[in-house]
Amino acid sequence: MYFLGDVHAESPLMKGFLESKEKYCLQLGDFGFIFKYNDWKWNKFLNHFARDYPEKMIFTILGNHENYDSIEKMPIKTMFGARCREIRSNVYAVERGEILSIEGLNILCIGGADSVDRMWREWGISWWNQERITDSDVKKTIEKGLNCPFDMVCSHAMPSFFMMRNFKSCFETDSEFSLEKIYFDIENNDVHIPLWLSGHVHCSIGMMYNDTLFRSLDIGEGIEYHQGDSIKDKFLIQ
């Protein structure tokens, strides 16, 4: 399976996945291709991918650079055990708190993040309220994490302790504290999280915390990972 950092609607950043042998891609938010509902410019890559790569599939967990109003108009389908919004026949946005069971991996997905630059953007045009991780998102994710087996967590942002260690107060928002609550509530109930992947910060950073490997992927960074691979060999930055 191919894990991919932020792409922000830059189609060249999809090249690694398109040229790989991997069938499935999980993109870690700020996908960006669904920014205007029926605008040809923004949909060009999606139409190209659906037409020319029918054997491949993209799943995105969405971030804080997405048009949530447009996404919420799209139908919900269950794919690999997870409720998803169907963007194209082979492109899906995974709903928050869902477990995607694919390629032998059970992935607990929690998209969303607060835009720290929203004062320079326009509500309903370039940022949307739905980007924030809500209390109901937190509750659903914790319940799913405690009651369904999973191998890893994929989010757009990172828990606040990761941000504080690596970025001080930068990016530290309500959504980061929500992710921190998810982590500790699951871990404190004796369900271990071995691996947590994210995008958002446009940096390759690896950090061990309580025997969990946290790893953020840089913008456009892609990593192939399969069941049985060594987590540290694949994701820990030496």
C-alpha to C-alpha distance for 127 and 109, rounded to whole angstroms: 21
Question: What's the chain's average pLDDT?
Answer: 93
CA angle 104, 105, 108 (to 5 degrees): 150
Q: Band the pLDDT of 125: cuts 50, 70, 90.
A: confident
3-class DSSP state of 91: strand
Q: What is the per-residue pLDDT across 129-181, written as a single tens digit (0 to 9) for each?
A: 999 999 999 999 999 999 999 999 999 999 999 988 888 665 668 999 999 99
Mean per-residue pLDDT, 190-198: 98
Which pLDDT does position 116 carry in this prediction? 83
3-class DSSP state of 4: strand
Least confident of 23-37, 158-172, 204-218: 158-172
Which pLDDT does position 126 carry in this prediction? 84
Mean per-residue pLDDT, 175-202: 97
Q: Is the pLDDT of residue 36 over 70?
A: no
Which pLDDT does position 54 carry in this prediction? 97
DSSP state of 71: H
